[in-house]
Amino acid sequence: MSDKHTLFIADLHLAADRPDITAAFLRFLRQQAVQADALYILGDLFEVWIGDDNPEPLLDTVATALATLSTQVPVYFIHGNRDFILRQAYASRAGMQLLPQQQVIDLYGTPTLIMHGDSLCTLDIAYQKFRKWWNQPWWQWLLLKTPLSYRQSLAAKARRKSAAHKARYKQQQQPQIMDVTPDEVPRVMAEAGVLKLIHGHTHRPAVHQLEVNGNAAQRYVLGDWYSQSSYLQVSADNWQLHFDTLT
Ligand code: MN
């Protein structure tokens, strides 16, 4: 691992009731991330985010570990649909630089679009309605003014609803609704002027070949960390998805 490389992760869904995932993440930071040129976290680092003022000890553990890494390796964060109200206060504690929802970065000479990926799932109408509403700055501002206990109960309700939403599509044999919309991908990539896209969200790690304006292009989907650890390592001549056991 002496070659220069950049690492990408998403969908860790860190939560107090899954200390095994947190342990794997802390190990990943100490062993892998420390050797990278940069670490990009493409959303849903946390299972739920109710505000930077949440006193949950897990948040401190993670902030301390990321801040330690950030003294040597730049750490970038794009919001997911679970942690979309993570704010500058926590990002600063964790040494993370917040990026916009979509960003084109230069990866060793290759312009690459990075995002969480939920915006690509346009067929999931119910979710897109939710997204449109919750993305409004005034609504987020208002939400963060409510008491912590209220936001905690709201988050518990949202987790139950999300689980029911996923189960419903599975039951209807329509899991593709929760995947990206095939036409949306080349459209978004052409608009950004790239032939490489990296995203998470769908929990379906893979490398997809496609065409953008007649050119061969690739879409890299990051894996979640529910039953394994998963990251993408990019160097000048090698893009590789890696998987590891949690323990
Ligand atoms: Mn997500």
Centroid of chain to Cα 118: 9
How would residue 126 be classed by pLDDT, with cut points 50, 70 and 90? confident
User: What pLDDT does 165 receive?
Assistant: 78
CA of 117 to the centre of ligand 1 (A): 7
DSSP conformational letter for 219: E
Cα Rg of the chain, angstroms:
18
CA of 107 to the centre of ligand 1 (A): 23
CA of 230 to the centre of ligand 1 (A): 15
How would residue 172 be classed by pLDDT, with cut points 50, 70 and 90? confident
For 29-100, strand residue ranges (E) read 38-41, 75-77, 96-98
CA of 247 to the centre of ligand 1 (A): 24
CA of 43 to the centre of ligand 1 (A): 7
With a cut of 90, say whether residue 85 has pLDDT above it.
yes
How would residue 163 be classed by pLDDT, with cut points 50, 70 and 90? confident
Q: Which two tokens stand for residue 14?
A: 């860190």
User: What pLDDT does 221 receive?
Assistant: 98
% residues pLDDT > 90 (the chain): 81
**Model-level pTM?**
0.93
CA of 116 to the centre of ligand 1 (A): 7
Q: With b meaning 16 or more CB within 10 Å and e meaning fewer, what string describes 14-42?
A: bbeebeebbebbbbbbeebbeebebbbbb
CA of 119 to the centre of ligand 1 (A): 10
CA of 160 to the centre of ligand 1 (A): 15
CA of 194 to the centre of ligand 1 (A): 23
CA of 48 to the centre of ligand 1 (A): 10
